[in-house]
Structure 1
């Protein structure tokens, strides 16, 4: 069997463009099985030094966009009686740290959103999972792959996504936390 894969590109920091793109996806799709909210940014500073613009940018990408994407794919998933919603959060979805108030607020919020949507979907074959990795060796926060060699790799997170997607309809993995054994 050949999978039907359509790729769409969009600047997720632009709310209007994001809505326009997800509406296009919904219009052009025969069904939407999977939504993985993986985009994220951080701004790390003392709360008193954060600007409203910082707050708005981080919350838009880390929380508002996952809400909008979920909102627009859920009716499709409900009609087809199947779906997988996966939100990549962070260990910062349950651990606050100095100079992380904005980032933590966005990730705590995403975890709370996912938990609430999971309750709304109880009794349906649509699952909601959060995957909260610790530090990952990526381009996040001005770094580049290789800068944090003892951290998790992006593949470690992707493996967990594939694990969630491999589960049968009866099985819902609510939350996965991972960290590097070397940190």
Structure 2
């Protein structure tokens, strides 16, 4: 009887452990965290991390760089007298120290490099993308950034072509 009870209790808790991670994104401004622009839901799959965006308010059709950043903050940061919206999020998540921004499909690249998100003519993003090297367990304690423009997955000074940080969301550490 005890075994049956324990097995039932474990089965009841299993869905909680497998819950998706949903992050609310806010407009990144020089004054701080702005209004909500939507969410991104992350879920582990057999092929990598599936990111399903529900974002609106972009200026229209176009590609947007999308990255997992090192720090769990969307606050602005000042460097050399210049204010960077969501600059406190730091650089791309790169736990292996590759120092290379080569995209989500290259092994020797920032782990935080994710596939581009594409806005439709109405400035909405809803098409899921797959980040093959990431897992949901990599997300906690970091921030996700959506950039103003696309991403060529090249090194600075061109920031991969992504432009400024348009939106940011903090992924809480649930441990």
TM-score, normalized by length of structure 1? 0.25
Bigger share in helix = 1
Bigger share in strand = 2
The higher radius of gyration belongs to 2
